[in-house]
Structure 1
Amino acid sequence: MADEGIRRDEPGEVHKQFQNEQASAKTSTLMNVLGYEPHIRQARIEAYKASDRHYTAKARGRLTWITTGSKAEGLTSLLESDTDKLIVTESVICLEDGVDSSSVPVEKTIFRSCSRISYSGHCRLLLETCGTTIPRIVYNALCDDGFGRGLLSSDLYVNQWLNVKQREGIVHHERAGPSTPRTTHYLKSDIVHTLHFYCPSILTRWAARHRYWPSPDVVREVVSLGAFVSPVGVKGSEYEHVEWRMCFNSGENVLINNLNDTQVKLYVLLKMVKKDVLKPQKKEVTSFTVKNIVLWIAENNPHSLFHERSLFHWLHEGLYALRVAIDTKELPYYMIPERNLMAACALDHEQKRSWIATIDEMMTEGPRIILRLPKIRQAIIAHPEPLRWYSGRRIELEMLQLIAMNRVALGMDRETDVIMQAISRRRLEILREIKMRMIMEGSRVNDLWNVLSRMFM
């Protein structure tokens, strides 16, 4: 399983005549109206890339900002979910065991990964060389490995960042694993402070796999983006407080953004199943779980089979793969198949039985499965004209808000910047138009800010 990822046992399964083609095409069109159309996703992706460039430039070579998760994938609006960010410390590099360090600039602090006694996809970081200046946060997170060598504690590293004084308007929340969550005005972010990880052998093994997807050019791009280590160990491990997890967020962003339209919509629907049907309480199944299922399906099947009329076929395949992962508690990580993503999930026997029964029911329902998903169900019930009108206004508001976000990141003043003023005027016009229509349809609404926030949820 680790070598091949997710495959159907039945040979030739994917070559069967696709069923429910008309329902697949209609659902695909409906998802476009709801904001999953390719050009809308691309606009979101570009907006967050621009935001990352602005904040990275402000850090003047010390830190690099990288948006990850659903925002980087263009799949959620501004307030629909938290924004996931990596902040990479540029003065430190971690090297895979056996990699020559002689070409690393002298100003960088070098850590050597030790993965021999760690779980797959995890490592410990031993200090090899101090750079000309070592960041205080890194220095304060060092401990002794018992043999007189410096060992970088993932636990201490996160806590050091929690103690950093933030500028006015930023509120820190309780630590969540490797994340230091915070709220900036009305925007919630999950921040993970990471380090560069140079691991050519891992990426070479990934690149060498036989695959239908992605293309060789995309494979080379993913390899060129390298990896990171994030400060989190394996839950329950004896060395959890000093373990780091290998991650490939930049490469995974590229992979998701190179899925075709049907594959992206499969990903969205499976995420809705996870959130609205299974409703995990302890992260037994996550969006990351679903992402890996979709990546394996894309890699193992001919690209030509993914089109708008095959959406329900692939949703059935995705549910089957999710069922197997829950039943066996096994799902290989797409980048490092030896790492089992289900190994540490808190999934008890009764919950497993319940979820398997639910998924079995869904797999027999055909197109009616989407009636279980509130966002899709509400769109089906809505009359086409009001739905398109509402969605058009919502998307325009979102695009204006993304432009405003980047103007703020550039340091533009809301009161004097002509573009910000134009955005504010147009936003007010749209909100008043929405409010008037809501009143005409029987709603009682007064607060325009409440209208705006609900449009983005």
Structure 2
Amino acid sequence: MAALNCVWDIFEKYGYSRLSADKRVEIYNNCNEIGSLFYRQKSNEDIDLVIAGSRGEGIGLHFDCDIDRLFIQRSAMGFHSYPVTSDRKRFDAEFELDFDHAPSGYCRLRLMSIQEKIDPDSRNASFLQNIENSLNEQNGHKYLRNDRMLTSAMSHLKQEGWLERSFVYDVAKGPAQPYECKLPYTKFSLNFDDVLALQCSYPSIVNEWCDRRRHHGWPSSDVIEEVRRLDVLAVPVGETEDDVMQWRISLVLGELALVRSFNDTQLKVYGALKMLAKAVLKKSSENLSSYVMKNVIFWISESTDIHNFERNQFLHRVIDGLKYLCKCVYDRNLPNYMIPGRNLLIHKISENERVKVLQDLDNFLSDGESVLLQCSEIKHLLGQDAQIRSRMIDKNENAEQAIISLFSLPPLKGLEMMLQLFIIKTGEDLINFYRKNIFPIIRETNPFEFFDDFSSKTDEEILEFVERPESTLTSSTEENVSK
């Protein structure tokens, strides 16, 4: 029981608690508002920014996960069945979802209409022109390619300030444009995955998920109805050898709502499965990702009485998840929770990888309730005195809070700060910008009641993760920052 309590407390400190996750969800929802204002102004497009993935779920912290950003372009719409009525809302670009010769959960976007005579200075003009330049004609129809930069909101070409000059771009992976932003004078980096998304009218795919029979109390009827109201999206799959016109149907907004509905134990089981995947399974197969584990926790949550997700059942539910994953790998089929016809393992694990993964999972299950000791990070923390353990986690938490403080400001104030942030010339100026302009507001208002420690800590204590000697980070740069 003592070991269980220690592991539970570690996950609690790592942010896998309902209370902590709820506060982070509020912050990233606020960040969505700030980001949407910023990118609409930057690109002159009808863009909505949504932080997805672990960050948007409220459990991404300590720089251990990417920041997944969806750029939803609202001037375009894809229709499952293209409407012919004249009294409906019109969009600047309209597509029909073409499912011919596409796997379950995928489609092509067949152009049905696009605004003519585009004024180059009008809103969304660049986006619409990019669409025009990204169409391929097949069998008398025009289809939208998935391998082109369609929105200028995702481009970083001006590089006017230190921040954009510090971006290091990686090769595109699937639909995402990945890049890294190294934080000045620290060991930390922020890693971004940016994805364009187009909204779709596809009620049948949502209704099919919402209306299927469930017997164990999760998700609740309220959450199901919330998912029914959320947007369906189409995202590019990245260039493939077969077809550069293929797009993937995404219910990522529904997935966000589901994770946000998790109770405390579900969150910790999810965290444990992600840690095991990162520490062990990904060494055997790179494609056993956090997203795979998210679908595992979804399936075992639906098939287990919700009352069995309690603290004293935490490790039992972790083992349930590993058993379910083992069955899926053995069967070579893990159904996507939102679109079960889509197999998340198809073409993802070679036979050699499959043998290794099954051996890993067999080792996990042989370990029983000590399985989490397979995570070196958990094992290391358990070997520390409780006070040292808390201090080790708190240091990373300080860094995290310092960075996300900007995104906790009121949206219009946050926009003002973002616009200034992107013209700052040096990393030193960036740090002093936070000290002068952001930390005072956080201390005074403690937004979302998340920054309790700010009032009792000096700037130097908050910025202890900055490796450059404090004497070089003087207020002498503040005059340059304020100009």
2:291 & 2:143 partners in 1: Cα distance?
29
Say whether 1:417 aligns with 2:437: yes
Q: Tell me the residue number matched to 2:21.
A: 41
| Residue 119 (structure 1) aligns with | 103
1:53 aligns with 2:37: no
- Alpha-carbon deviation of 1:364? 1.7
Distance 1:62 1:281 in 2: 42
CA gap 1:26/1:163 in 2 versus in 1, 3 angstroms: closer
- SS in structure 2 at match of 1:205: helix
For normalisation by structure 2, the TM-score amounts to 0.78
Cα distance in 1 for partners of 2:61, 2:202 equals 34
Q: Could you list the per-position Cα deviations for residues 240-295 of structure 1 after superposition, in whole angstroms to 9, with x for gaps in the alignment?
A: x1000001111111111111111111111111111111124763211111111111
8 Å contact kept, 1:68–1:85: yes
Q: Work out the CA distance in 2 between the residues paired with 1:427 and 1:120.
A: 52
1:71 is the counterpart of 2:64: no
The equivalent of 2:10 in structure 1 is 30
Which secondary structure does the structure 2 equivalent of 1:84 belong to? strand
One-letter code aligned to 1:51: C
Extract structure 1 runs of 4+ deviating beyond 6 A.
158-164, 421-425
The aligned counterpart of 2:148 is 156
Aligned to 2:273: 270
Gaps of 5+ in 1: 1-20, 436-444, 450-457
Q: Following TM superposition, by how much is the alpha carbon of 1:164 offset from its aligned partner in structure 2, in angstroms? A: 6.4
**Cα offset, 1:93, TM superposition:** 0.5
Per-residue deviation, 1:36: 2.2
**CA distance 1:30–1:82, change in 2 (3 Å):** closer
User: What corresponds to 1:138 in structure 2?
Assistant: 131
Cα contact 1:233–1:245 (8 A) shared by 2: no
Partner of 1:220: 225
| CA shift for structure 1 position 99 | 5.3
After superposition, give the CA deviation of every residue in 1:395-446 in whole Å (9 maximum; x if it has no partner): 35433431134458422362753645876973412455x89xxxxxxxxx87
1:308 aligns with 2:311: yes
2:212 maps to which of 179, 191, 209:
209
**Superposed displacement of residue 117, structure 1:** 2.0
Is 1:181 matched with 2:178?
Answer: yes
Where does residue 455 of structure 1 map in the other structure?
none
What amino acid is the match of 1:204? N
How many equivalent residue pairs?
415
* Segment of structure 1 superposing worse, 359-368 or 163-172: 163-172
Unaligned runs of 5+ in 2: 119-124, 184-189, 421-432, 444-453, 472-483
Specify the SS of the correspondent of 1:174: coil
Residue aligned with 1:156, SS: coil
SS in 1 for 2:174: coil
| Aligned partner of 2:253 among 240, 250, 254 | 250
Give the whole-Å Cα distance in 2 for the aligned partners of 1:224 and 1:271. 29
State the TM-score, normalizing by the size of structure 1. Answer: 0.82
Distance 2:391 2:355 in 1: 43
Of the candidates 426, 444, 447, which is equivalent to residue 458 of structure 2?
A: 426
Q: Which residue of 1 aligns with 2:424?
A: none
The 3 A distance-change label for structure 1 pair 164 and 281 is farther
Give 1:114 deviation, angstroms: 0.7
Tell me if the contact between 1:25 and 1:309 (Cα under 8 Å) persists in the aligned partners. Answer: no
